[in-house]
Amino acid sequence: MDHSIKIEDLNDPVMKHASTDFVSIYSDNTVGEALDCIRNCQTQSTILYFYVLDGKARLVGTIQTRRLLTSPLDVKIEEIMSKNLVVIPASATLVEALEFFIFHRYLAFPITDDHEKMLGVIDINVFTEEMIDIEEQGQVHSVFDTLGIKISEVRHKSPWSVFRYRFPWLLATITSGTICALLVGFFEATLAQSLVLAFFLTLVLGLGESVSMQTMAITVHSMHHSKAESGWYFQTMKRELMRTFLMALACALIVGFIVFVWKNDFTAGLIISSGILTSLLFACFLGVSIPYSLHKLKLDVHVASGPLTLALADICTVIVYFSLAAFILSS
């Protein structure tokens, strides 16, 4: 088996680069029996984990070397094995296997078929130094992903193929823009009371979009280096809201001051600055929540997060902005 992986190999089936020379033990063995089995094993591969099989050769657990060596000899393997399995399906490609290493930070992963039977092992040593370049390329690709574009899907494609791939994401923008237009029409009476609100609507929308996309990019990057569980979500949300509050407060004060000096209208300045502060906090909330929700739903976080975050950020900004305006003007 060739252990040298190049970038052009990333679409290969993972089994092409996996090792079938792995050490397996059985769940009904004792620790002593398992150690005897390991001593008699003629494997030439580096042993990172021991894989536990049941009577039907299905993968049911793993054991780290230290745990196995420090356990009493008469203890059953099934009593000390870890049942929290993370496996790579045999149908996966090498690039999908690489994502497992990035997300879970394990040194090796078992590969199983649809019947949970273990077929092989792929470990981190398979990836050569050349693969370091992938992270740099991935940073470039992720910028396009957040805009709804996968470079691999549009490179060297015909205009019609590119249209079919990219147009659905443009439809998301059209949909959100139409909803925003309808919402603005709903607040026509509010606009009639203070036309200056319309002058700054584009600015408020732009700030909301910028904050939502920045927060989303930070969240997606953080998800690559952490386990995205509920504790992580609340910690990330708290951190990003605090950061956004400071930026939103600064923007609100600057724009509010500009409105007051330009139009000599304290009420309009208060509405616009309050709208900026509140809408940016909502945008931050969406920037964290949408990638996390997509991850939990096992959807494509990179491609779907961008268009969805932008659309919802625009809609929320319009609702918050004009709702505050209607409330303050009616007070």
pLDDT in tens, 10-45: 678 888 888 888 888 888 889 898 888 888 876 766
What CATH code is carried by the domain that includes residue 318? 1.10.357.20
Residues whose CB is less than 8 angstroms from the CB of residue 150 and which lie 6 or more positions away in sequence, other chains included: 141, 144, 165, 303
What CA dihedral angle connects 272, 276, 282 and 287, to 10 degrees? Answer: 150
Residue 207 lies inside a defined structural domain of this protein: yes
- How confident is the model over 115-124, as a mean pLDDT? 86
When comparing pLDDT for 106 and 169, which is higher?
A: 106
Q: Are residues 89 and 159 in the same domain?
A: no
Q: Does residue 297 carry a pLDDT above 90?
A: no
Residues whose CB is less than 8 angstroms from the CB of residue 92 and which lie 6 or more positions away in sequence, other chains included: 13, 14, 111
* H or E element, residue 206: helix 201-225
pLDDT for position 256: 92
Residue 121 lies inside a defined structural domain of this protein: yes
pLDDT for position 161: 67
Residue 133 lies inside a defined structural domain of this protein: no
pLDDT for position 174: 86
**Least confidently predicted of 40-49, 88-97, 288-297, 305-314:** 40-49
Q: Which of 72, 102, 127 is the last residue of a domain?
A: 127
Q: What is the pTM of this model?
A: 0.54
Domain interval for residue 146: 141-330
pLDDT for position 323: 92
Q: Kind of pairing, strands 88-89 and 108-112?
A: parallel
Q: Are residues 157 and 118 in the same domain?
A: no
pLDDT in tens, 189-198: 888 888 888 8
pLDDT in tens, 218-257: 888 777 666 778 888 899 999 999 999 999 999 999 999 9
Closest CA to 23 of 11, 40, 5, 8: 40
When comparing pLDDT for 206 and 165, which is higher?
A: 206
CB 14 within 8 A of CB 119: no
Percent of the chain surpassing pLDDT 70? 82
Residue 2 lies inside a defined structural domain of this protein: no
Residues whose CB is less than 8 angstroms from the CB of residue 155 and which lie 6 or more positions away in sequence, other chains included: none
Instruction: Give the mean pLDDT of the chain.
Output: 81
Residues whose CB is less than 8 angstroms from the CB of residue 78 and which lie 6 or more positions away in sequence, other chains included: 27, 28, 52, 60, 61
Of the pLDDT bands very low, low, confident and very high (cuts 50, 70, 90), residue 139 is very low
At 100, the amino acid letter reads F
Residue 132 lies inside a defined structural domain of this protein: no
Q: Are residues 198 and 287 in the same domain?
A: yes
Domains identified in the chain, total number: 2
Instruction: Determine the Cα–Cα distance for residues 298 and 253; give it in Å rounded to an integer.
Output: 40
Q: Kind of pairing, strands 59-64 and 24-26?
A: unpaired
Of the pLDDT bands very low, low, confident and very high (cuts 50, 70, 90), residue 203 is very high
Q: Which of 96, 127, 158 is the last residue of a domain?
A: 127
Q: Are residues 47 and 160 in the same domain?
A: no
